[in-house]
Amino acid sequence: MKLEKRLWAAPALGLLLAGLAVGCGGGSDTAALDSWSKKVCDSAQSPIAQSQTALADTAKVLPGEAPAELQQRLAADLGVLAATDQQLAEAISKAGAPKIDGGAAVQQGAVDELKKAGQGYLEVQQKLTALPNTEQAKFADGLRSVGDQIQRLAQQSTAALNKLQSGDLGTAIAKQPGCKPAPKTSPSASTDPSTPAATPAASPSGTPATTPAGTPAVPPASPTPGASG
């Protein structure tokens, strides 16, 4: 029977991991896996926190914020998400291969996916900054497209980290404070209630799924405050 655990809360890590199915592995060195997990999670703690903050910020509606200001704020968030994915990839790379069957391949797969997601955020950032912000309807449509891409990239980051979180390695990671989700706080008044900061979900099969706050809020005058994720 699968035990579902909520482990790393990171998009881009966006990293937002939830519904992780942790199985039982065999033949691995528990002490070595604990040491490896500590290296990764100690380095990952700050990027995870930064990516959570940036992803949540993409869903905020700030009263009186002009389209150009919104555009600039979201571009900054995307820059943070790109940087944190790269930092997570570096943390996993520097830790070396975990001592599990196929550890080198698992490590490299996670690193490659995180780097791809990080590059993807930079590409979306360029698309966002190129949007014309003088016509609100067109700008809102562009933001919805950007939001869809942010959500896909957050899910890609999640999938990358899930490569590390099964069997004995997943159990070792679950012990580390740096890879535990941050305490939930009450949403601020400026957050769009229709797009909560991070709503993790798991499919019936136990496959991780995420619904991050990856849809930027459209300008305040639009009747729809944000695109649905």
**Which amino acid type is present at position 206?**
G
What are phi and psi for residue 135, nearest 5 degrees? Answer: -110, 110
Distance CA 147, CA 187 (A): 20
pLDDT tens-digit series, residues 153-182: 999 998 888 888 888 999 999 999 888 766
For helices 67-94 and 136-162, the axis angle rounded to 10 degrees is 10
pLDDT attached to residue 181? 65
Distance CA 14, CA 110 (A): 14
Distance CA 160, CA 135 (A): 38
Mean pLDDT, rounded, for 210-223: 44
Where does the pLDDT of residue 149 fall: very low under 50, low under 70, confident under 90, or very high at 90 and above? very high
pLDDT attached to residue 182? 63
Where does the pLDDT of residue 194 fall: very low under 50, low under 70, confident under 90, or very high at 90 and above? very low
pTM of the model: 0.70
Distance CA 85, CA 87 (A): 5
Residue 31 has pLDDT above 90, yes or no: yes
- The stretches of 130-178 forming alpha helices (DSSP H) are 136-162, 167-174
pLDDT attached to residue 216? 57
